Amino acid sequence: MKDLRLCIMGFGAVGQGLAKVVLLKKENIKELYGVELKIVSVADSSTSAISTDGLDEEELIRVKKETGKLANYPEYGSNISGLDVLDECEYDVLLEATPTNIVDAEPARSLTLKAFEQGKDVVTSNKGHLALNFNELLDAALKNNVIFKFEASVGGTMPIINLAQETLPANNVESIVGILNGTTNYILSRMTSEGTSYENTLKESQQLGIAETDPTQDVEGIDAACKTVILANSVLGIPAKYDDVKVKGISDITSEAIYLADKEGYLIKLIAEVSKDNLEVSPRLVKKGSAFDINGTLNMATVTTDLSGKVTVRGIGAGSVETAAAMLTDLIHIIREKYKV
Amino acid sequence: MKDLRLCIMGFGAVGQGLAKVVLLKKENIKELYGVELKIVSVADSSTSAISTDGLDEEELIRVKKETGKLANYPEYGSNISGLDVLDECEYDVLLEATPTNIVDAEPARSLTLKAFEQGKDVVTSNKGHLALNFNELLDAALKNNVIFKFEASVGGTMPIINLAQETLPANNVESIVGILNGTTNYILSRMTSEGTSYENTLKESQQLGIAETDPTQDVEGIDAACKTVILANSVLGIPAKYDDVKVKGISDITSEAIYLADKEGYLIKLIAEVSKDNLEVSPRLVKKGSAFDINGTLNMATVTTDLSGKVTVRGIGAGSVETAAAMLTDLIHIIREKYKV
């Protein structure tokens, strides 16, 4: 039995989801691939827990929930944080789940580059460093001969990058058009079904925890634009940067506009388009009953290909365990390629 | 540059689609994987064309279209057929595209088993041998240490087996519920939109070439039941046989029933369900606007998982080039695993 030593950076919703899915699936992975998953280091924003013998998944979650800091993990808690964690304990794969930062991509960018230099494979759920530094990261992974996977960064647990790369590799992907932000889709769906104003629906979404206190990244289309950049680079091979995306959010959509669209059989959705000719996030009219007619926080994407025509996928775009499941899928790809016994 | 020698058995719509996609994509595959695709033998029902130097894709299609028999392929045509073709010419991968036979699964079963014994990998679009002999085939592939792939057998070019195995491997798949037969979906969609009777709509579909002259396999649910067996075995790990599936077709659906459903916001669809507790193909009411509300010959499937919730895919369920594209995807998986330079 071979150990596969995991380092988890970032221990918010996704990081804790990772601890849960590792606990749930490690027996299964042992059976299938002959590999024993072991979490050897976990860092939150300022502290960490580190043990070469492996940390207990439930204890990690309990300590974080009850005390707020992994420093309080019995025996193995410490004040080591950030890049230093990667030097402190030998590991095989970095699971990078720090918050998305689209100003300077930190700490995700430095953590990822350092892991690559150490010869480690990386799985990430982060959008910031991918949207801002895609080529730098891919080049560094290639140079260090390591695997870099990021399914969870687009569409949460809805497969889209692996869908294109693993289920449609015979095809040339010509475009991807989809709904890639669940928060705005929830707001627009509620405005349609309830006839409420944007302001009131946003407030309601914030009370439900669906929209964040500062909703800018979602409602102004920034989150969807990051995902557009990631898909452009990874699936269509377009060397796009964040500034190449035309971005318009939903904050000036009125209930009147939604009502008028509805009367004619249309819905207003925040649509992301990824094609050679157009990188765009903007509100658009879509037909009721079409593939774009999805409710709530769901995501969807239609992939247009040369041989297989249109393939459409829909699924859950966010969530702690769900996003972690997408990261575990990426980890399984790494196991199959490098560690399987 | 390494040659990858292909043997195509069956040269109807799918076989000819294979010749087309090999022609379209061989340069691309050479660039990406360092492997040169070469069709060395192709058989129709009674003749073949065989050349160790490789056959010309366009010439194969021209000869078949114009003369009906591959025996007429210049210089390399012959009257060798069936199992003998596999002995006649050294090859690496069998692309098996003979017609589905759900009585005794031949010739697909014997061809596939012989290829396995020869140590060759096999990609198939056939449903008959999979529905009738799944375990025998999988055991034989395992015993001979070869790869056996069959994405094209379910859902045409819509990814469903690779979707589950390659994009959701972190998950336990609990059920698959979907529309897996395009012909019946076309008939039911037309009956709904036009208010026509089953008999007249079937006739119209036959005139359009969407339904076959003998439509039994489609309209009685047999085709969808075969796919149910394949998904049960390959994705859910249920050792199901064809007789385990409860099957009811659409031939007694009246326009009156469709009208009454429509009035209440429902559609009637031929639904396949694959779960531990139920293997069934039958007409069911589904809500308008739901994921099951698809028109024409499209296929769809909702995969319910333990971690990622529901993931739904829709795509084109048939077609010559489309089905061949699904087979080429399987071939690319084999290339990545065994031949990539």
- The per-residue pLDDT string of chain A (341 residues; one tens digit each, 9 = 90 and over) reads 789 999 999 999 999 999 999 999 999 999 999 999 999 999 999 999 999 999 999 999 999 999 999 999 999 999 999 999 999 989 999 999 999 999 999 999 999 999 999 999 999 999 999 999 999 999 999 999 999 999 999 999 999 999 999 999 999 999 999 999 999 999 999 999 999 999 999 999 999 999 999 999 999 999 999 999 999 999 999 999 999 999 999 999 999 999 999 999 999 999 999 999 999 999 999 999 999 999 999 999 999 999 999 999 999 998 999 999 999 999 999 999 999 88
Distance of residue A316 Cα from the nearest chain B Cα, in angstroms? 7
pLDDT of residue B175: 98
Q: Is A311 close to B311, i.e. CB distance below 8 A? A: no
What are B37's two structure tokens? 């695709």
**How many Å apart are CA B316 and CA B159, to the nearest integer?**
10
**How many Å apart are CA A270 and CA A188, to the nearest integer?**
8
Known catalytic residues of A are: 227
* Mutation target vs B (from A307, A320, A321, A327; most B CBs, 10 A cutoff): A307
Residue B18 forms contact with A (CB below 8 Å): no
pLDDT in tens, A31-50: 999 999 999 999 999 999 99
Cβ density class A61-70: b for 16+ within 10 Å, e for less: bebbeeeebb
**How many Å apart are CA A114 and CA B270, to the nearest integer?**
53
CB–CB of A261/A191 below 8 Å? no
Residue A328 forms contact with B (CB below 8 Å): yes
**How many Å apart are CA A286 and CA A223, to the nearest integer?**
21
pLDDT of residue B241: 94
Q: Is the pLDDT of residue B98 over 90?
A: yes
Q: Which CATH class, in words, describes the domain spanning B164-317?
A: alpha beta
pLDDT of residue A341: 83
pLDDT of residue B174: 98
Q: What value of ipTM does the predicted structure carry? A: 0.96
Tally of residues, chain B: 341
What are A161's two structure tokens? 């990058």
pTM of the model: 0.96
Residue A125 forms contact with B (CB below 8 Å): no
pLDDT of residue B32: 96
Q: Does the domain at residues B2-157+321-339 carry the CATH identifier 2.60.40.10?
A: no
Residues in A closer than 8 angstroms to B313, CB to CB, are 311-313
CB–CB of B69/B44 below 8 Å? yes
Which residue bears the tokens 């939150």? A44
CB–CB of B207/B213 below 8 Å? no
pLDDT of residue A1: 79
The pLDDT of B210-228, averaged and rounded, is: 96
Residues in A closer than 8 angstroms to B298, CB to CB, are none
Chain B residue whose CA is closest to A311:
B315
CB–CB of A247/A196 below 8 Å? no
**CA–CA distances in Å: residue B135 to residues A204, B101, B115, B204:** 53, 17, 16, 39
**How many Å apart are CA A330 and CA A18, to the nearest integer?**
12
The pLDDT of B216-232, averaged and rounded, is: 98
pLDDT of residue B201: 97
Distance of residue B302 Cα from the nearest chain A Cα, in angstroms? 9
The DSSP code sequence of B235-298 is TS-----GGGSEE--STT--HHHHHHHHHTTEEEEEEEEEESS-EEEEEEEEETTSTT---TTE
pLDDT of residue A209: 92
A304: β partners? A175, A310
The pLDDT of B197-211, averaged and rounded, is: 96
pLDDT in tens, B29-65: 999 999 999 999 999 999 999 999 999 999 999 999 9
- Residues 6 or more apart whose CB falls under 8 angstroms from that of A271 comprise A177, A178, A179, A281, A282, A283, A284, A286, A292
Which of B26, B84, B71 is CA-nearest to residue B44? B71
Chain A residue whose CA is closest to B299:
A311
What are A326's two structure tokens? 């997408």
Residues in B closer than 8 angstroms to A174, CB to CB, are none
pLDDT of residue A280: 98
Domain ranges of chain A: 2-157+321-339, 164-317
CB–CB of B18/B96 below 8 Å? no
Rounding to the nearest 10 degrees, give the CA dihedral for residues B313, B230, B21, B165.
60
What are B327's two structure tokens? 């087979």
pLDDT of residue B248: 98
**How many Å apart are CA A210 and CA B87, to the nearest integer?**
63
Which of A288, A141, A239, A112 is CA-nearest to residue B265? A288
Omega prior to B159 cis, within 30 of 0: no
Residues in A closer than 8 angstroms to B192, CB to CB, are none
pLDDT of residue B341: 82
pLDDT of residue B1: 79
Of A172, A293, A307, the CB nearest to B289: A293
Q: Burial level of B143, CB count in 10 A (0-12/13-18/19+)? A: exposed
